[in-house]
Amino acid sequence: MRLTTSLPTDDRGVPDVAKARHLEQLGYDAVGMADVIVGDGTPGADPALTLAATAAVTDRIGLEFGVLSLPLRPVAWVASQIQTLQQLSGGRVVLGVGIGGFPGSPFWRAVGAPATGRGRWTDTALRALPGLIAGRPTLVGETEVTLGPAAAVPPILVGGKLGGGHAPRDPVRGRLGALPHHPVRPGGQGGPAARAGRRARPPGAAGLGGRPRHPGRRP
């Protein structure tokens, strides 16, 4: 049994990072942070910064992105954040990623995120992320990028939906899974997006607040 929960928020909607220490003492395996920044006044916190603050006040508990909207950010920037968070936390990151659910919202427009083609964008990012995080020379567009110091590549889980061609179709193989399920195995039927569309809870997983979690690696 693996217990995870979302990081609590205060009355303003600000993540209550101090509660993460209490959750760790209670025996939770991980805390998760959603990536819901809309730009219309709805409370929304940057997940990487929030999980970095959580890492600073905890020792063991896992740090889960549930899920990070890849089209909102340049892939090299995402890789740098994950690389740094892995180093600062002692390798406690679980990187859930997806195509994002609020295209056309004020925040998406303000940062120039694509409203269409998000699946292709996510596929491209997934191919580049492992190499970038691991500190290997990696092509990002037409530019070779090497980030350092290298960090362990965290489990990368793909959340998506079927229909309209929005879900990632051809991500890299190996360290990929599908939220909220077991890791996707190369050669299986369908891709990570197809598995992400099947909402059954896997054995050995437990979630609070309606958010089942990946039951794989224990921090």
Q: Angle 176-181-185 (CA atoms, 0-180°, nearest 5)?
A: 45
Q: Angle 169-113-176 (CA atoms, 0-180°, nearest 5)?
A: 30
User: 88-102 pLDDT, tens per residue?
Assistant: 999 999 999 999 989
Give the model's pLDDT for residue 191: 36
- Please, where are the H alpha helices in the chain? 18-26, 47-56, 75-89, 106-110, 118-133, 192-196
Residues in CB range of 210: below 8 A, 6 or more apart? none
Bridge partners for 11 per DSSP: none
Residues in CB range of 15: below 8 A, 6 or more apart? 7, 8, 9, 33, 45, 50, 53, 54
Q: Can you state the angle between helices 75-89 and 47-56, rounded to 10 degrees?
A: 10
- Whether the Cβ atoms of residue 126 and residue 76 lie closer than 8 Å to each other: no
What predicted TM-score, i.e. pTM, was given to this entire model? 0.77
The domains found in the chain, sorted by start residue, are 2-207 (3.20.20.30)
User: 13-23 pLDDT, tens per residue?
Assistant: 999 999 999 99
Bridge partners for 68 per DSSP: 97
User: 166-206 pLDDT, tens per residue?
Assistant: 445 444 443 445 444 333 333 333 334 333 333 333 333 33
What letter does residue 70 receive in the DSSP assignment? G
Query: Which of 16, 137, 135 has its CA nearest to residue 84?
Result: 135
